[in-house]
């Protein structure tokens, strides 16, 4: 006999029996009803187990007895009913009180129950004890009609039953809201339609019923599919339903959409990982910057001493060859410190307007020599590409670094493409980039590419896939640091077997930028034109002595001070000084603070700041001339001549 041929009364009785079986099978939820004023109108077994009251003890009492004294005093029970009646639902987690006074942590959902005319009949209240368990069964022990009203009015949980083969036998409003099906569309269908295609192929619907049949309970979280095809992350509990004789008659299934909670947790995890990476890189950057600063001081002593030795030793080709080799090694060390400072974003940048096409053309011979004849270089630049704001020398070094990486990735054979394109950043999709106009300078190789793990670590300092002695692991971090310090970013894209694209995003030069003075042809070494006294201030005694030797060789008289305080004392004592050459990074009083103090004493006294990296200067000394460490004697002589002999 078809379901349509069964008398309506009989159908109602069958449904009521199924509802009752569903209630009897769920034991981990306290489900009861309140009248409109909040007095308990029904009581199930789950409520008795959680709260400790027998039905005859609690029926007719106000539900506020489940709340702590503080919440009763604050009027929380009344607020709960008012919120549920006004908004259609109330959900909360908090402390509740059992009959014996013990507190337990409860998840509570309150839904209003209304008649067909909209009259408030009471409230359906579901409480779950989360003290020991987060996934549990619902057990409903209520009268047949009250239970029907309760299940049909709950909208935050999909509560429905399955027959022994997994076909849906009833459907509540929560299931309709979460999954999108009306009852007449879904009853009789197999519940596997809620699973993804992958899960159905893996047999997950059948295995979940098998576990519920075997263990009595199945609980999990995973992707489920709505009627419209969209996916949501679901918390699912399936309980096996048995009759009084222990025979399996079906399953009770409770599903809740926990997509927002999962997304929030994922966002929190991602934020924690990003914070960890930022802190790690910042720590390594501080270490690298400090090491590079100290190493620059040592290199300055070495370079200066070697230059003076070249003048003092006999004109012996073997000795000069050794000195030249030592100077070349020192220059290589200086290049390494520049990479460390670039990674730490503490190098001194001289920003100017750079035409990328002209820059690449000017480097073509260098690139060909560096990459070798077996690497084909192709350039792709659009017409009318705007200039970018960058440091020409550092940008050339970065481009050469990326090209060399591409050559190594292709094992010295293949095509390397250098291209550029304009990008407008709106600030929504590109992290910390300031919204504006950028140009992406790309270096594209035809190598094997990187797997996901290597790509994820490519910007980590000191990480390299090259052999021992063939790479420092600072190349890409240096380019990354340069990009960030220039106001842009480095973007890497790579697929295993398809090559790698490295894009250096740089801001467009929207206004005139002062040209880089270092780009001009180097001037000859200038010596002192008149007897002048230079006050040298540095906390490193080796730097003091080395700088003094360079100055004396240039014809200057050097007065030495190991601190800012010592330098001020010399000036206040009337020491005749023509110029002050001071380090910036010094303890107690840095070079900027010393310059400000000197300006108060002798406003016209020239001051030259020497620095190993780009410290932020106060506004009062930002315009002072700077000399980058390690400096050669030529740079020192030219800087002093310019300050002591203004045009």
Q: How confident is the model at residue 198 (pLDDT cuts 50, 70, 90)?
A: very high
Task: Give the model confidence (pLDDT) of 546-588 as tens digits.
Answer: 888 888 888 899 999 999 999 999 988 888 899 999 988 788 8
CA distance 121 to 440: 66
For residues 356 and 454, membership in a common domain is answered with: yes
pLDDT of res. 204: 93
Burial degree of 213 (CB within 10 A; 0-12, 13-18, 19+): middle
Domain CATH for 451: 3.30.565.10
More confident residue, 332 or 408: 408
Domain contains 262: no
Residue 628: how many other CB atoms lie within 10 Å: 21
- Least confident residue range of 272-286, 442-456, 484-498: 272-286
DSSP percent split of the chain into helix, strand, coil, nearest 5: 45, 25, 35
- Give the residue carrying structure tokens 């690139």: 367
For residues 420 and 446, membership in a common domain is answered with: yes
Q: How confident is the model at residue 1 (pLDDT cuts 50, 70, 90)?
A: very low
Is residue 400 within 8 A of residue 370, CB to CB? The reply is yes
b/e map 552-588, b = 16+ CB within 10 Å = ebbebbbbbbebbeebbebbeeeeebbbbbbbbbbee
Q: Average pLDDT for residues 25-35, to the nearest whole number?
A: 77
Domain contains 514: no
* Among the listed residues 529, 540, 580, 530, the one whose alpha carbon sits nearest the alpha carbon of residue 559: 580
Domain CATH for 107: 3.30.450.20
Domain contains 149: no
For residues 380 and 496, membership in a common domain is answered with: yes
User: Whole domain around residue 441: which residue ranges?
Assistant: 352-507
Is residue 599 within 8 A of residue 484, CB to CB? The reply is no
Backbone conformation region of residue 53, classed left if phi is above 0, alpha if psi is from -120 to 50, else beta: beta
- The strand pairing partners of 376, in sequence order, are 415
For residues 220 and 184, membership in a common domain is answered with: yes
Residue 1: how many other CB atoms lie within 10 Å: 5
- Give the residue carrying structure tokens 């994922």: 266
Task: Give the model confidence (pLDDT) of 158-180 as tens digits.
Answer: 888 899 999 999 888 888 888 89
* CA pseudo-torsion sign 65, 67, 73, 79: negative
Number of domains forming the structure of the chain: 5
Both tokens of 12, joined, read 């109602």
Task: Give the model confidence (pLDDT) of 31-64 as tens digits.
Answer: 888 999 999 998 888 888 888 898 899 999 999 9
Q: Average pLDDT for residues 112-120, to the nearest whole number?
A: 89
Alpha-helical (H) ranges within 69-122 are 69-73, 76-87
Pairing verdict, β 607-611 and 352-354:
unpaired
For residues 627 and 543, membership in a common domain is answered with: yes
CA distance 87 to 186: 28
For residues 364 and 489, membership in a common domain is answered with: yes
Is residue 288 within 8 A of residue 268, CB to CB? The reply is no
* CA pseudo-torsion sign 328, 329, 334, 336: positive
Domain contains 151: no
- Least confident residue range of 72-81, 312-321, 547-556: 312-321
pLDDT of res. 8: 53
Helix (H, G, I), strand (E, B) or coil at 167: strand
pLDDT of res. 518: 44
Domain CATH for 559: 3.40.50.2300
Task: Give the model confidence (pLDDT) of 240-272 as tens digits.
Answer: 999 888 899 899 888 988 888 888 888 787 777
Mean pLDDT over the full length of the chain: 79
More confident residue, 89 or 275: 89
b/e map 366-387, b = 16+ CB within 10 Å = ebeeebeeebebeeebeeebeb
**What's the pTM value of the predicted model, to 2 decimals?**
0.38
Is residue 40 within 8 A of residue 127, CB to CB? The reply is no
Domain contains 344: no
For residues 547 and 572, membership in a common domain is answered with: yes
Domain contains 516: no
Q: How confident is the model at residue 142 (pLDDT cuts 50, 70, 90)?
A: very low
């Amino acid at each position: 006999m078809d379901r349509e041929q069964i008398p309506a009364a009989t159908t109602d009785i069958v449904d009521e029996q199924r509802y009752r079986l569903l209630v009897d099978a769920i034991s981990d939820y306290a489900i009861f009803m309140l009248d409109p004023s909040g007095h308990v109108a029904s009581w199930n077994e789950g409520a008795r187990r959680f709260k400790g009251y027998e039905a005859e003890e609690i029926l007719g009492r106000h539900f506020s007895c489940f709340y702590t004294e503080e919440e009763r005093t604050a009027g929380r029970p009344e607020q709960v009913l008012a919120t549920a009646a006004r908004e259609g639902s109330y959900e909360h987690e908090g402390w509740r009180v059992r009959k014996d006074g013990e507190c337990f942590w409860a998840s509570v959902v309150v839904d209003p129950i209304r008649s067909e005319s909209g009259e408030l009949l009471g409230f359906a209240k579901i409480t779950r004890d989360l003290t020991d368990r987060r996934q549990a069964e619902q057990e409903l022990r209520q009268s047949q009609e009250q239970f029907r009203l309760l299940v049909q009015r709950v909208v935050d949980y999909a509560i429905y039953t399955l027959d022994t083969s997994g076909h849906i036998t009833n459907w509540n409003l929560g299931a309709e809201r979460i999954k999108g099906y009306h009852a007449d569309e879904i009853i009789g269908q197999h519940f596997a339609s809620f699973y993804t295609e992958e899960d159905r192929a893996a047999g997950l619907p059948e295995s979940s019923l098998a576990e519920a049949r075997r263990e009595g309970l199945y609980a999990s979280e995973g992707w489920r599919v709505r009627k419209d095809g969209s996916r949501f992350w679901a918390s699912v509990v399936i309980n096996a339903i048995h009759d009084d004789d222990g025979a399996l008659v079906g399953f009770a299934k409770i599903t809740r959409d926990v997509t927002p909670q999962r997304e929030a947790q994922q966002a929190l995890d991602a934020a924690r990982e990003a914070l960890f990476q930022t802190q790690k890189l910042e720590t390594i950057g501080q270490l690298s910057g400090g090491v590079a600063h100290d190493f620059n001081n040592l290199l300055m002593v070495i370079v200066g001493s070697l230059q003076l030795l070249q003048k003092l030793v006999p004109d012996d080709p073997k000795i000069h060859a050794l000195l030249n080799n030592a100077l070349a090694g020192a220059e290589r060390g200086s290049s390494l410190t520049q990479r460390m400072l670039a990674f730490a974003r503490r190098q001194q940048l001289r920003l100017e307007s750079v035409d990328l096409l002209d820059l690449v053309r000017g480097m073509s011979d260098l690139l060909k020599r560096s990459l070798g004849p077996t690497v084909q270089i192709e350039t792709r630049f659009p017409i009318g590409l705007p200039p970018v704001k960058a440091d020409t020398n550092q940008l050339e070094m970065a481009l050469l670094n990326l090209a060399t990486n591409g050559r190594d990735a292709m094992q010295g054979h293949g095509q390397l493409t250098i291209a550029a394109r304009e990008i407008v950043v709106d600030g929504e999709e590109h992290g910390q980039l300031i919204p504006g106009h950028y140009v992406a300078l790309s270096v594209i190789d035809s190598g094997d590419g990187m797997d996901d793990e290597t790509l994820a670590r490519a910007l980590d300092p000191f990480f390299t896939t090259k052999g021992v002695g063939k790479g420092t692991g600072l190349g890409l971090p240096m380019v990354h640091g340069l990009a960030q310090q220039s106001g842009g970013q480095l973007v890497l894209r790579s697929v295993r077997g398809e090559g790698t694209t490295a894009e250096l995003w740089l801001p467009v030069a929207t206004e005139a930028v002062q040209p880089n003075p270092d780009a001009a042809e180097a001037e000859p070494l200038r010596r002192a034109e008149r007897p002048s006294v230079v006050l040298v201030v540095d906390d490193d005694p080796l730097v003091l002595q080395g700088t003094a030797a360079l100055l004396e060789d240039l014809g200057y008289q050097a007065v030495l001070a190991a601190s800012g305080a010592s330098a001020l004392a010399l000036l206040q004592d009337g020491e005749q000084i023509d110029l002050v050459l001071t380090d910036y990074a010094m303890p107690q009083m840095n070079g900027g603070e010393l310059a400000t103090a000197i300006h108060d004493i002798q406003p016209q006294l020239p001051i030259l700041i020497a620095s190993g990296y780009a410290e932020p200067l106060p506004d009062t000394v930002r315009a002072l001339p700077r000399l980058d460490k390690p400096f050669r004697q030529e740079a020192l002589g030219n800087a002093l001549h310019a300050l002591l002999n203004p045009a």
